[in-house]
Chain A
Protein backbone atom coordinates (compact mmCIF):
# COMPACT_ATOMS: atom_id res chain seq x y z
CA UNK A 1 0.00 0.00 0.00
CA UNK A 2 1.88 2.92 -1.40
CA UNK A 3 0.00 5.61 0.51
CA UNK A 4 0.69 4.14 3.93
CA UNK A 5 4.28 3.48 2.88
CA UNK A 6 4.56 7.14 1.97
CA UNK A 7 3.11 8.14 5.33
CA UNK A 8 5.58 5.89 7.11
CA UNK A 9 8.47 7.33 5.11
CA UNK A 10 7.32 10.86 5.86
CA UNK A 11 7.04 10.03 9.57
CA UNK A 12 10.50 8.42 9.50
CA UNK A 13 11.89 11.49 7.76
CA UNK A 14 10.33 13.82 10.32
CA UNK A 15 11.63 11.77 13.23
CA UNK A 16 15.14 11.67 11.77
CA UNK A 17 15.01 15.42 11.27
CA UNK A 18 13.71 15.88 14.83
CA UNK A 19 16.53 13.78 16.21
CA UNK A 20 19.15 15.65 14.21
CA UNK A 21 17.89 18.91 15.72
CA UNK A 22 17.93 17.37 19.19
CA UNK A 23 21.51 16.24 18.68
CA UNK A 24 22.68 19.64 17.58
CA UNK A 25 20.84 21.36 20.41
CA UNK A 26 22.39 18.92 22.84
CA UNK A 27 25.86 19.92 21.69
CA UNK A 28 24.92 23.58 21.93
CA UNK A 29 23.57 23.12 25.45
CA UNK A 30 26.76 21.37 26.52
CA UNK A 31 28.89 24.13 25.06
CA UNK A 32 26.83 26.87 26.70
CA UNK A 33 26.90 25.19 30.09
CA UNK A 34 30.66 24.56 29.89
CA UNK A 35 31.11 28.26 29.17
CA UNK A 36 29.13 29.24 32.25
CA UNK A 37 30.79 26.71 34.51
CA UNK A 38 34.20 28.03 33.48
CA UNK A 39 33.36 31.21 35.42
CA UNK A 40 34.13 33.79 32.75
CA UNK A 41 33.23 36.81 34.87
CA UNK A 42 34.82 35.65 38.07
CA UNK A 43 31.57 35.78 39.99
CA UNK A 44 31.52 32.19 41.23
CA UNK A 45 32.98 33.01 44.70
CA UNK A 46 30.18 35.48 45.35
CA UNK A 47 27.51 32.95 44.49
CA UNK A 48 29.24 30.23 46.46
CA UNK A 49 29.37 32.47 49.53
CA UNK A 50 25.65 33.08 49.37
CA UNK A 51 25.23 29.32 49.68
CA UNK A 52 23.07 29.65 46.66
CA UNK A 53 25.05 28.35 43.75
CA UNK A 54 22.31 26.11 42.42
CA UNK A 55 22.68 27.91 39.14
CA UNK A 56 26.03 26.17 38.80
CA UNK A 57 24.44 22.85 39.67
CA UNK A 58 21.88 23.48 36.94
CA UNK A 59 24.68 24.22 34.48
CA UNK A 60 26.53 21.03 35.42
CA UNK A 61 23.36 19.01 34.85
CA UNK A 62 23.00 20.80 31.54
CA UNK A 63 26.42 19.61 30.40
CA UNK A 64 25.56 15.96 30.93
CA UNK A 65 22.04 16.32 29.60
CA UNK A 66 23.42 17.87 26.44
CA UNK A 67 25.79 14.97 25.86
CA UNK A 68 23.03 12.48 26.63
CA UNK A 69 20.72 14.17 24.14
CA UNK A 70 23.39 13.95 21.46
CA UNK A 71 24.01 10.26 22.08
CA UNK A 72 20.32 9.46 22.29
CA UNK A 73 19.54 11.32 19.09
CA UNK A 74 22.00 9.08 17.24
CA UNK A 75 20.35 6.06 18.82
CA UNK A 76 16.97 7.41 17.78
CA UNK A 77 18.02 7.94 14.19
CA UNK A 78 19.34 4.39 13.95
CA UNK A 79 16.20 3.01 15.60
CA UNK A 80 13.86 4.88 13.27
CA UNK A 81 15.70 3.91 10.11
CA UNK A 82 15.95 0.26 11.13
CA UNK A 83 12.36 0.32 12.50
CA UNK A 84 13.57 -1.69 15.48
CA UNK A 85 11.14 -1.87 18.43
CA UNK A 86 13.84 -2.68 20.98
CA UNK A 87 16.08 0.21 20.05
CA UNK A 88 13.18 2.61 20.03
CA UNK A 89 11.95 1.38 23.40
CA UNK A 90 15.38 1.94 24.89
CA UNK A 91 15.47 5.33 23.23
CA UNK A 92 12.09 6.34 24.67
CA UNK A 93 12.92 5.27 28.21
CA UNK A 94 16.30 6.96 28.27
CA UNK A 95 14.87 10.10 26.72
CA UNK A 96 12.24 10.27 29.45
CA UNK A 97 14.94 10.10 32.10
CA UNK A 98 16.93 12.83 30.35
CA UNK A 99 13.75 14.88 30.06
CA UNK A 100 13.23 14.66 33.80
CA UNK A 101 16.79 15.79 34.54
CA UNK A 102 16.60 18.69 32.16
CA UNK A 103 13.27 19.72 33.69
CA UNK A 104 14.95 19.86 37.09
CA UNK A 105 17.83 21.91 35.71
CA UNK A 106 15.54 24.47 34.04
CA UNK A 107 13.32 24.98 37.03
CA UNK A 108 16.35 25.29 39.35
CA UNK A 109 18.00 27.89 37.16
CA UNK A 110 14.80 29.91 36.84
CA UNK A 111 14.01 29.76 40.57
CA UNK A 112 17.43 30.78 41.75
CA UNK A 113 17.67 33.69 39.41
CA UNK A 114 14.92 35.29 41.45
CA UNK A 115 16.76 34.90 44.71
CA UNK A 116 19.79 36.93 43.64
CA UNK A 117 18.55 40.29 44.92
CA UNK A 118 20.72 43.34 45.68
CA UNK A 119 20.05 42.84 49.40
CA UNK A 120 21.61 39.40 49.27
CA UNK A 121 24.87 40.66 47.82
CA UNK A 122 24.82 43.75 50.04
CA UNK A 123 24.57 41.70 53.20
CA UNK A 124 27.30 39.35 52.05
CA UNK A 125 29.61 42.20 51.07
CA UNK A 126 29.14 44.02 54.37
CA UNK A 127 29.71 40.89 56.42
CA UNK A 128 32.64 39.45 54.51
CA UNK A 129 34.59 42.07 52.60
CA UNK A 130 37.99 42.61 54.23
CA UNK A 131 36.97 40.60 57.27
CA UNK A 132 39.94 40.71 59.60
CA UNK A 133 39.94 37.08 60.73
CA UNK A 134 38.55 35.36 57.68
CA UNK A 135 36.49 32.48 58.99
CA UNK A 136 36.97 30.43 55.87
CA UNK A 137 38.46 30.48 52.43
CA UNK A 138 35.23 31.81 51.05
CA UNK A 139 35.67 35.09 52.94
CA UNK A 140 39.06 35.68 51.35
CA UNK A 141 37.62 34.80 47.96
CA UNK A 142 34.78 37.27 48.48
CA UNK A 143 37.27 40.05 49.25
CA UNK A 144 39.37 39.19 46.22
CA UNK A 145 36.35 39.02 43.94
CA UNK A 146 34.98 42.36 45.14
CA UNK A 147 38.35 44.05 44.69
CA UNK A 148 38.59 42.85 41.12
CA UNK A 149 34.96 43.67 40.43
CA UNK A 150 35.30 47.24 41.69
CA UNK A 151 38.57 47.73 39.86
CA UNK A 152 37.46 46.41 36.49
CA UNK A 153 33.96 47.84 36.40
CA UNK A 154 34.79 51.18 38.05
CA UNK A 155 32.01 50.72 40.54
CA UNK A 156 31.65 50.79 44.32
CA UNK A 157 29.53 48.74 46.67
CA UNK A 158 26.31 47.07 45.59
CA UNK A 159 24.09 50.13 45.20
CA UNK A 160 26.79 52.81 45.59
CA UNK A 161 29.49 54.06 47.97
CA UNK A 162 26.82 55.08 50.46
CA UNK A 163 26.38 51.37 51.27
CA UNK A 164 29.56 51.73 53.33
CA UNK A 165 28.13 54.74 55.15
CA UNK A 166 24.64 53.49 55.81
CA UNK A 167 25.66 50.19 57.36
CA UNK A 168 28.37 49.02 59.69
CA UNK A 169 30.53 46.29 58.22
CA UNK A 170 33.51 44.03 58.76
CA UNK A 171 35.43 46.57 56.69
CA UNK A 172 34.50 49.35 59.09
CA UNK A 173 35.92 47.42 62.06
CA UNK A 174 39.45 47.62 60.69
CA UNK A 175 39.27 50.79 58.59
CA UNK A 176 38.24 53.99 60.33
CA UNK A 177 35.42 56.04 58.93
CA UNK A 178 37.52 59.20 58.78
CA UNK A 179 40.27 57.63 56.68
CA UNK A 180 38.12 55.24 54.68
CA UNK A 181 34.56 56.44 54.18
CA UNK A 182 34.60 53.76 51.48
CA UNK A 183 37.31 51.37 50.29
CA UNK A 184 40.25 52.73 48.33
CA UNK A 185 39.21 50.65 45.33
CA UNK A 186 36.20 52.97 44.98
CA UNK A 187 38.52 55.87 44.17
CA UNK A 188 39.53 56.69 40.63
CA UNK A 189 42.98 55.12 40.40
CA UNK A 190 45.93 56.02 38.23
CA UNK A 191 48.19 53.65 36.35
CA UNK A 192 50.08 52.62 39.49
CA UNK A 193 46.90 51.80 41.35
CA UNK A 194 47.00 54.84 43.63
CA UNK A 195 44.09 57.25 44.00
CA UNK A 196 44.33 60.23 41.69
CA UNK A 197 43.14 62.57 44.44
CA UNK A 198 42.75 60.91 47.83
CA UNK A 199 41.15 63.89 49.55
CA UNK A 200 38.73 64.33 46.68
CA UNK A 201 37.85 60.66 46.92
CA UNK A 202 37.25 60.83 50.68
CA UNK A 203 35.05 63.89 50.28
CA UNK A 204 33.08 62.38 47.44
CA UNK A 205 33.98 64.98 44.83
CA UNK A 206 32.51 63.86 41.51
CA UNK A 207 35.25 62.63 39.23
CA UNK A 208 37.55 61.29 41.95
CA UNK A 209 35.47 58.34 43.05
CA UNK A 210 33.20 55.76 41.42
CA UNK A 211 29.66 56.64 42.29
CA UNK A 212 27.72 53.80 40.70
CA UNK A 213 27.04 50.45 42.29
CA UNK A 214 28.29 47.07 41.12
CA UNK A 215 24.95 45.30 41.21
CA UNK A 216 24.45 45.62 37.46
CA UNK A 217 27.89 44.19 36.83
CA UNK A 218 26.99 41.17 38.97
CA UNK A 219 23.40 40.57 38.04
CA UNK A 220 23.91 41.11 34.31
CA UNK A 221 26.14 38.09 33.67
CA UNK A 222 24.44 35.90 36.28
CA UNK A 223 20.99 36.60 34.87
CA UNK A 224 22.17 35.93 31.33
CA UNK A 225 23.62 32.66 32.57
CA UNK A 226 20.47 31.61 34.35
CA UNK A 227 18.30 32.76 31.47
CA UNK A 228 20.42 30.82 29.01
CA UNK A 229 20.23 27.58 30.96
CA UNK A 230 16.55 27.90 31.83
CA UNK A 231 15.01 29.06 28.58
CA UNK A 232 17.24 27.23 26.16
CA UNK A 233 16.65 24.05 28.13
CA UNK A 234 12.93 24.78 28.04
CA UNK A 235 12.98 25.19 24.27
CA UNK A 236 14.88 21.93 23.82
CA UNK A 237 12.39 20.16 26.03
CA UNK A 238 9.42 21.40 24.05
CA UNK A 239 10.99 20.14 20.84
CA UNK A 240 11.97 16.84 22.49
CA UNK A 241 8.39 16.44 23.67
CA UNK A 242 7.10 16.57 20.10
CA UNK A 243 9.76 14.19 18.82
CA UNK A 244 9.05 11.75 21.66
CA UNK A 245 5.32 11.75 20.94
CA UNK A 246 6.06 11.10 17.29
CA UNK A 247 8.46 8.30 18.18
CA UNK A 248 5.94 6.66 20.48
CA UNK A 249 3.30 6.82 17.76
CA UNK A 250 5.77 5.33 15.24
CA UNK A 251 6.79 2.63 17.72
CA UNK A 252 3.24 1.60 18.29
CA UNK A 253 2.70 1.24 14.54
CA UNK A 254 5.72 -0.95 13.83
CA UNK A 255 4.72 -4.55 13.29
CA UNK A 256 6.59 -7.23 15.07
Chain B
Protein backbone atom coordinates (compact mmCIF):
# COMPACT_ATOMS: atom_id res chain seq x y z
CA UNK B 1 0.00 0.00 0.00
CA UNK B 2 1.59 3.28 -0.98
CA UNK B 3 2.20 5.73 1.87
CA UNK B 4 -0.12 8.75 1.86
CA UNK B 5 1.57 11.97 0.75
CA UNK B 6 3.02 14.19 3.46
CA UNK B 7 0.87 17.22 4.21
CA UNK B 8 2.99 20.35 4.17
CA UNK B 9 1.70 23.38 6.06
CA UNK B 10 2.36 25.79 3.17
CA UNK B 11 -0.74 27.55 1.79
CA UNK B 12 -0.49 28.77 -1.81
CA UNK B 13 -1.54 32.37 -2.21
CA UNK B 14 -1.68 35.27 -4.62
CA UNK B 15 1.38 37.47 -4.00
CA UNK B 16 0.73 40.53 -1.84
CA UNK B 17 2.90 42.87 -3.93
CA UNK B 18 1.23 45.42 -6.19
CA UNK B 19 0.92 43.85 -9.63
CA UNK B 20 -1.89 45.10 -11.80
CA UNK B 21 -2.10 41.83 -13.71
CA UNK B 22 -2.22 39.64 -10.60
CA UNK B 23 -5.73 38.54 -11.34
CA UNK B 24 -7.28 38.98 -14.77
CA UNK B 25 -10.38 37.44 -16.30
CA UNK B 26 -8.66 34.20 -17.28
CA UNK B 27 -5.33 34.10 -15.42
CA UNK B 28 -3.98 34.55 -11.95
CA UNK B 29 -0.60 34.67 -10.32
CA UNK B 30 0.74 32.66 -7.40
CA UNK B 31 3.73 33.30 -5.24
CA UNK B 32 6.41 30.73 -5.99
CA UNK B 33 6.90 28.49 -2.97
CA UNK B 34 10.52 28.38 -1.84
CA UNK B 35 12.18 25.76 0.32
CA UNK B 36 8.81 24.09 0.79
CA UNK B 37 9.64 20.72 -0.76
CA UNK B 38 13.30 20.57 0.21
CA UNK B 39 13.10 17.81 2.76
CA UNK B 40 10.88 15.61 0.60
CA UNK B 41 12.00 15.96 -3.02
CA UNK B 42 14.50 13.89 -4.97
CA UNK B 43 16.23 15.12 -8.09
CA UNK B 44 13.82 13.29 -10.40
CA UNK B 45 10.61 14.44 -8.78
CA UNK B 46 8.23 16.96 -10.28
CA UNK B 47 5.99 19.53 -8.64
CA UNK B 48 2.52 19.95 -10.13
CA UNK B 49 -0.12 22.54 -9.47
CA UNK B 50 -3.63 21.20 -8.97
CA UNK B 51 -6.37 23.67 -9.83
CA UNK B 52 -9.95 22.88 -8.89
CA UNK B 53 -13.20 24.77 -8.66
CA UNK B 54 -13.57 25.89 -5.06
CA UNK B 55 -16.67 23.77 -4.49
CA UNK B 56 -14.97 20.68 -6.02
CA UNK B 57 -11.69 20.83 -4.10
CA UNK B 58 -12.93 18.55 -1.36
CA UNK B 59 -13.65 15.81 -3.93
CA UNK B 60 -10.22 16.00 -5.52
CA UNK B 61 -8.30 12.73 -5.38
CA UNK B 62 -4.55 12.80 -5.87
CA UNK B 63 -3.61 10.88 -9.05
CA UNK B 64 -1.70 7.69 -8.38
CA UNK B 65 0.80 8.18 -11.18
CA UNK B 66 1.69 10.60 -13.93
CA UNK B 67 -0.62 8.80 -16.34
CA UNK B 68 -3.65 9.47 -14.12
CA UNK B 69 -3.12 13.22 -13.98
CA UNK B 70 -6.31 15.09 -15.02
CA UNK B 71 -5.57 17.26 -18.02
CA UNK B 72 -6.49 20.86 -18.78
CA UNK B 73 -9.17 19.94 -21.27
CA UNK B 74 -10.94 17.83 -18.64
CA UNK B 75 -11.62 20.83 -16.46
CA UNK B 76 -15.30 21.27 -17.39
CA UNK B 77 -16.11 17.60 -16.60
CA UNK B 78 -13.64 16.64 -13.89
CA UNK B 79 -13.91 20.10 -12.26
CA UNK B 80 -10.15 20.02 -11.67
CA UNK B 81 -6.91 19.66 -13.56
CA UNK B 82 -3.20 19.69 -12.96
CA UNK B 83 -0.63 21.80 -14.71
CA UNK B 84 2.71 23.59 -14.38
CA UNK B 85 4.72 20.40 -14.15
CA UNK B 86 8.18 21.59 -13.05
CA UNK B 87 11.30 19.89 -11.74
CA UNK B 88 11.44 20.08 -7.95
CA UNK B 89 14.80 21.80 -8.20
CA UNK B 90 13.07 24.96 -9.42
CA UNK B 91 11.41 25.32 -6.02
CA UNK B 92 14.45 24.73 -3.86
CA UNK B 93 15.93 27.32 -1.57
CA UNK B 94 18.90 28.00 -3.78
CA UNK B 95 17.03 28.26 -7.07
CA UNK B 96 17.14 31.64 -8.79
CA UNK B 97 13.82 31.88 -10.58
CA UNK B 98 11.05 34.46 -10.91
CA UNK B 99 9.17 35.04 -7.67
CA UNK B 100 5.75 34.41 -9.23
CA UNK B 101 4.00 31.74 -11.25
CA UNK B 102 1.36 32.69 -13.79
CA UNK B 103 -1.52 30.25 -14.10
CA UNK B 104 -3.35 30.40 -17.41
CA UNK B 105 -0.73 32.19 -19.46
CA UNK B 106 -0.28 29.71 -22.30
CA UNK B 107 -2.82 30.28 -25.06
CA UNK B 108 -0.96 28.19 -27.65
CA UNK B 109 -1.56 24.84 -25.98
CA UNK B 110 -5.27 25.53 -25.62
CA UNK B 111 -5.65 26.10 -29.32
CA UNK B 112 -3.50 23.24 -30.51
CA UNK B 113 -5.09 20.67 -28.21
CA UNK B 114 -1.79 19.06 -27.31
CA UNK B 115 -1.83 16.18 -24.88
CA UNK B 116 0.92 17.53 -22.64
CA UNK B 117 0.00 19.30 -19.43
CA UNK B 118 -1.31 22.65 -20.58
CA UNK B 119 -1.26 25.90 -18.62
CA UNK B 120 -4.20 27.23 -20.57
CA UNK B 121 -6.41 30.19 -19.69
CA UNK B 122 -9.18 29.47 -17.21
CA UNK B 123 -12.60 29.29 -18.83
CA UNK B 124 -14.66 30.95 -16.13
CA UNK B 125 -14.17 33.37 -13.23
CA UNK B 126 -14.19 30.51 -10.72
CA UNK B 127 -13.59 30.75 -7.77
CA UNK B 128 -10.72 28.28 -7.83
CA UNK B 129 -8.56 26.66 -5.19
CA UNK B 130 -5.05 25.42 -5.86
CA UNK B 131 -2.49 23.23 -4.19
CA UNK B 132 0.98 22.02 -5.05
CA UNK B 133 1.60 18.30 -5.38
CA UNK B 134 5.04 16.71 -5.34
CA UNK B 135 4.92 13.64 -7.58
CA UNK B 136 7.59 10.97 -7.55
CA UNK B 137 7.84 7.91 -9.79
CA UNK B 138 5.69 5.93 -7.37
CA UNK B 139 2.98 8.52 -6.90
CA UNK B 140 2.38 11.66 -4.86
CA UNK B 141 4.96 12.20 -2.11
CA UNK B 142 3.87 15.49 -0.58
CA UNK B 143 1.14 18.05 -0.95
CA UNK B 144 0.53 21.55 0.35
CA UNK B 145 -2.74 22.78 1.76
CA UNK B 146 -5.49 24.06 -0.50
CA UNK B 147 -5.41 27.80 -1.02
CA UNK B 148 -8.20 30.25 -0.21
CA UNK B 149 -10.73 30.57 -3.05
CA UNK B 150 -9.38 32.78 -5.82
CA UNK B 151 -12.05 34.67 -7.74
CA UNK B 152 -11.11 35.99 -11.17
CA UNK B 153 -12.24 39.29 -12.63
CA UNK B 154 -15.53 39.60 -14.37
CA UNK B 155 -15.69 42.34 -16.99
CA UNK B 156 -18.84 44.36 -17.56
CA UNK B 157 -20.15 45.66 -20.83
CA UNK B 158 -19.23 49.22 -21.86
CA UNK B 159 -22.91 49.83 -22.55
CA UNK B 160 -23.30 50.41 -18.84
CA UNK B 161 -21.06 53.47 -18.96
CA UNK B 162 -23.07 56.64 -18.67
CA UNK B 163 -21.39 59.17 -20.91
CA UNK B 164 -23.72 62.09 -20.24
CA UNK B 165 -22.06 65.13 -18.68
CA UNK B 166 -22.43 65.18 -14.92
CA UNK B 167 -22.98 68.84 -14.32
CA UNK B 168 -23.18 72.04 -16.26
CA UNK B 169 -20.08 74.11 -15.62
CA UNK B 170 -20.37 77.61 -14.30
CA UNK B 171 -18.41 78.89 -17.33
CA UNK B 172 -21.34 78.38 -19.62
CA UNK B 173 -23.80 80.11 -17.34
CA UNK B 174 -21.56 83.16 -16.94
CA UNK B 175 -20.75 83.51 -20.61
CA UNK B 176 -24.29 82.89 -21.79
CA UNK B 177 -25.95 85.26 -19.36
CA UNK B 178 -23.52 88.12 -19.85
CA UNK B 179 -23.53 87.82 -23.61
CA UNK B 180 -27.31 87.60 -23.71
CA UNK B 181 -27.64 90.76 -21.68
CA UNK B 182 -25.06 92.61 -23.81
CA UNK B 183 -26.92 91.53 -26.94
CA UNK B 184 -30.20 92.73 -25.49
CA UNK B 185 -28.74 96.12 -24.57
CA UNK B 186 -27.32 96.56 -28.05
CA UNK B 187 -30.60 95.62 -29.68
CA UNK B 188 -32.51 98.15 -27.59
CA UNK B 189 -29.89 100.82 -28.27
CA UNK B 190 -30.16 100.27 -32.00
CA UNK B 191 -33.94 100.41 -31.91
CA UNK B 192 -33.82 103.50 -29.76
CA UNK B 193 -31.36 105.28 -32.04
CA UNK B 194 -33.24 104.40 -35.19
CA UNK B 195 -36.78 104.80 -33.84
In the complex the two chains form, is A168's CB within 8 Å of B189's CB? no
In the complex the two chains form, is B193's CB within 8 Å of A203's CB? no
Q: Which residues of A contact B102 (CB under 8 A)?
A: 199, 202-203
Q: Which of B26, B157, B175, B178 contacts A176 (CB 8 A)?
A: B26
Q: How many residues of chain B have a CB within 8 Å of chain A? A: 45
Bound CA span A176–B107, Å: 8
In the complex the two chains form, is B186's CB within 8 Å of A123's CB? no
Q: Which residues of A contact B1 (CB under 8 A)?
A: none
Q: Which of A110, A117, A241 contacts B171 (CB 8 A)?
A: A110
Identify the stretch in A25-33, A95-103, A146-154 within 8 Å (CB) of chain B at 4 or more residues. A95-103
Q: Which residues of A contact B104 (CB under 8 A)?
A: 178
Q: Which of B19, B165, B169, B176 contacts A107 (CB 8 A)?
A: B176
Bound CA span A251–B192, Å: 12
Identify the stretch in A12-20, A137-145, A159-167 within 8 Å (CB) of chain B at 4 or more residues. A159-167
In the complex the two chains form, is A114's CB within 8 Å of B155's CB? no
Bound CA span A231–B169, Å: 14
Interface residues of A in 38-84 (CB under 8 A from B): none
Given the known inter-chain contacts A114-B168, A117-B166, A237-B182, please indicate yes or no for A165 contacting B155, CB distance below 8 A: yes
Q: Which residues of B contact A196 (CB under 8 A)?
A: none
Residue A132, interface by CB 8 Å = no
Q: Which of A103, A107, A206, A241 contacts B172 (CB 8 A)?
A: A107
Min C-beta distance of A143 to chain B, whole Å: 16
Q: Which residues of B contact A119 (CB under 8 A)?
A: 161-163
Question: How extensive is the interface on chain A, given as a class?
Answer: 35 or more
Min C-beta distance of A93 to chain B, whole Å: 8
In the complex the two chains form, is A123's CB within 8 Å of B19's CB? no
Residue A244, interface by CB 8 Å = yes
Closest A residue to B105 by CB, please name it.
A178
In the complex the two chains form, is A177's CB within 8 Å of B25's CB? yes
In the complex the two chains form, is A234's CB within 8 Å of B179's CB? yes
Residue B43, interface by CB 8 Å = no
Residue B18, interface by CB 8 Å = yes
Min C-beta distance of B135 to chain A, whole Å: 26
Q: Which residues of B contact A209 (CB under 8 A)?
A: 20
Q: Which residues of A contact B19 (CB under 8 A)?
A: 203-205
In the complex the two chains form, is A177's CB within 8 Å of B121's CB? yes
Bound CA span A203–B17, Å: 11
Scoring A122, A169, A202 by chain B CB atoms within 10 A of each residue's CB, the highest score goes to: A202
Q: Which of B21, B158, B180 contacts A168 (CB 8 A)?
A: B158
Interface string of B121-165 (1 = CB under 8 A from A): 100000000000000000000000000000001011110011101
Residues of A within 8 A of B (CB): 92, 96, 99-100, 103, 106-107, 110-111, 113-115, 117, 119-120, 122-123, 126-127, 161-162, 165-169, 172, 176-179, 181, 199, 202-206, 209, 211, 230-231, 234, 237-238, 241, 244-245, 248, 251-252
Q: Provide 21 A-B residue pairs closer than 8 Å at the C-beta atoms, listed in order of the A residue.
A: A107-B175, A110-B176, A111-B172, A117-B163, A119-B163, A123-B163, A161-B20, A166-B155, A167-B157, A167-B161, A178-B24, A178-B26, A178-B104, A178-B107, A203-B21, A203-B29, A234-B178, A241-B186, A244-B189, A245-B186, A248-B193
Beyond contacts A110-B172, A168-B157, A181-B20: 12 other A-B pairs, Cβ-Cβ < 8 A, are: A96-B186, A114-B168, A114-B171, A114-B172, A115-B165, A117-B163, A119-B163, A176-B121, A178-B121, A181-B21, A202-B105, A237-B182
